[in-house]
Amino acid sequence: MTEATPSLYRRLGGYDVIAAIIDDMFALLRADPAFARFGSGRSTDSHMRARQLLVDQMGELTGGPCHYIGRDMVASHAGLAISAAEWDANMKHADAALLKNGVPDAERAEFLALFERYRDDIVE
């Protein structure tokens, strides 16, 4: 990005806003009975690691100084049998979290497109 065109990371408000979006999205996912199988039996540390990895991943993908150190999306979601309906519900929760954090339409669409590019790697 050039100085004339700030990165999505900067337009969103940086790390703290991305972290708030992910926190709100995870809260929505935890509250959705359709996602209970993904959280059941996981430790608090496991949940916190997943949260931090996603914050770092989105921080990097949006052009920020973050560095994602997790596995690729195929490896990290292998065997989870994530359906298209579950993916769509996840995207709905991501959009709701963006709205809750006051992200404008253009930036919301750009952020969601970053998630959407992994659909084929995650949905089985």
pLDDT of 39 reads 83
In-domain check, residue 68 = yes
Q: How many domains does the chain have?
A: 1
Whether 1 is covered by a domain: the verdict is: no
pLDDT of residue 4: 82
Does residue 90 lie within any of the structural domains?
A: yes
Three-state DSSP string of 45-80: HHHHHHHHHHHHHHHHHCCCCCCCCCCCHHHHHCCC
| 93 assigned to a ligand binding site | no
- Predicted TM-score (pTM) of this structure: 0.93
Q: Does the pLDDT at position 3 exceed 80?
A: no
Residue 3 belongs to a domain? no
Task: Report pLDDT digits (tens) over 22-81.
Answer: 999 999 999 999 998 988 888 999 999 999 999 999 999 999 999 999 999 999 999 999
CATH classification at residue 45: 1.10.490.10
Range of the domain at 58: 8-122
Residue 95 lies in a domain: yes
